[in-house]
Structure 1
Amino acid sequence: MGFDRIVGQERAKNILRLALRRGRVPNSLLFAGPEGVGKRMTAFTLARALNCLRGGDDPCEECQNCRAVLAGMEDENKGFPDVKEILPGGKEILPWVEKNNDEEAGSDVIKIRQVRYVKYHAYRRPMAGRKRAFIFNEAEKMSEPSFSAFLKVLEEPPPLTHLMMLTAYPERIPQTIASRCSLMQFGPLPREDIERHLISLGREPERARVLAYLSSGSLETALEADWKEVNQVRREAWEILRALLRREGGAEFLEDYSFLRRGKGTTERLARLWEAMAAFLRDLLLARESEDLRLLMNPDYEAALRAEASSLSPGEIQSALDRVESSLKGLRTSRNLSLLVSAFYSDIIDR
């Protein structure tokens, strides 16, 4: 059934099922959590349940409405008329309203014309289903005029419409809007859940373990990962980490990363590298303190890990791991990427 297909997020699923059973699903919801952990799938599952012809706390997945909403999740041109996903740069516009041509230039913004489109349709009765549902993906990318227009809808919530805001950055949602939404918190998925799911899809167990660890709790990241690229990141991470731990170099790390401008590609690249380093450091701790290495995150590096661990103390490994984890946290908030990378390098070398 619908909610059971979502990996993890048991608390969010249970809350929504209870609300469906009681007929008290909030009109405005804020789904907050990292990218790729199930927010979008949960939103569409809720939209199916709200419009399912059989009713209940789970979509039947068989009726005409359920099938149509699911089709719309995969292809907006085949969607259900009462369920609409709003994306940055979307084409939603009322035919009698002219497009804005200055204040919201750019494709990576949810424009005010899109919010006006939602506002116009939100107060009308559903066309084919029981409820209307608008799913704002990357809701933090609303422009300021869009937030203002959206607030007016929240202040007078339409009775037959549900508004769902999805974001990985809830701190960017104005408090005046967030406070009027029921918050549904989505956390990173446990590595074990991702690993089991990958294996159930036919992935090799060793690869599934590596992908699950390097996914940062994002099932989407694990599913979309290219194994050749993952291996390349792991090789780079191991070579740099080993040089830093031996104090034999690693300066190329600074040359490659410290002066790059902050951007999605740069931060993701750094995150993958540091996540791979963290996995190797955890493996080094295991290799240093245990003979049983069946739980290695990088089992194909077992010989190299044993050799390297023999020259390091548990304290040295733990100190390096703490520095890597601190740098990963800093990626989300630091505005100076060059300083973050330089501090990481210095702390590892000077430990």
Structure 2
Amino acid sequence: MSSEMSVLTKRFNGSCSGLLPNGNFEEAPPKSQLNGTRVMGRYAIPHWEISGYVEYIGSGQKQGDMLLPVPEGAYAVRLGNEASIQQRLALTQGAHYSITFSAARTCAQAEQLNVTVAPESDILPIQTVYSSSGWDSYSWAFKATGSVVSLIVHNPGVAEDAACGPLIDLFAIKTLPTPQSSKNNMLKNGDFEEGPYIFPNARWGVLVPPMDEDDYSPLSPWMILSSTKSVKYVDAPHHVVPHGARAVELVSGMETALVQNVTTVPGLPYRLQFSVGDAGNGCVGSMSVQAYAASRSVKVPYQSQGKGGYKRGALDFTATADQTRVVFVRMGYIMKPDGTLCGPVVDDVSLVCTRNRPARRLLL
């Protein structure tokens, strides 16, 4: 490994959580490595390696009449057509990790980012903006197949302007524990307490994008099934959540489903219970959530005043297979006055078998 490349490797021992080295890009390239805003040297941005047309963008900088949004601090990076940026990380082989980062569109409506830690790779759609700030935070998860991996973020777009592309900032990593069920809940991570890293000042939450069913979810073992839309992972410091410190906001209507598969016994009865509420974020209106399990479903209506609150829902069903899919879908859409999508929060989800157990005989 060259001396240049060795500085790109950061070792994380055991459980880790927090910003990647120069994850906010506040350590600037040398001025000799800049041609205007374009970064010329492959290793010019400390702790990162770049390829293609990459720009170093300062807060307040404009593109024509449009102000380019910098999510945090003074600087961010923009990836042009086919440009990429990567960082090498020394991790625990076999462990699961989530990456959180912020991104904003700057040109085309259908901008995308390809996030890769080999052999896993996914295209994250960023055309829908879910916050009024002009950017969103995204999460993505992977399993470390080696002790040293390369995190690569690539812009696969082909715009007329070669410099056009997403603006990215604030990269963080978090170790994801193995989800466990309990005697009181057959579902794993039913309270959503285990999930991607949320930046302390990120009042807009973190998006969990759609994924293939074989992918590892940042909300594992929950999956987000959709073509292009996401759900939002929210925290108690910035939102009202029904239980604990985390919850999921269904911001994309019927286009997105929150799903978990659970092992069941055909013919046995089960009860699914959950909370539906609002995040106290000004999302006002009629918000109903439809829950599905086996051949049954229930619709739980909730009238939101946008100030927080929740109600409990329940669904009794009989398992028809050795695996049952639990599904939550938001019925309809709601927008806040600033034009951003919002929706109900789902939290505190539990599943138990309700088969009557034989009473114990009392010995007299």
> What TM-score bracket applies, with the shorter chain setting the length?
under 0.3
What TM-score do you get using the length of structure 2 for normalisation?
0.24
Give the number of the structure whose residues are more often strand, by fraction.
Answer: 2
TM-score (normalizing by structure 1): 0.25
Larger Rg: 1
| Bigger helix share | 1
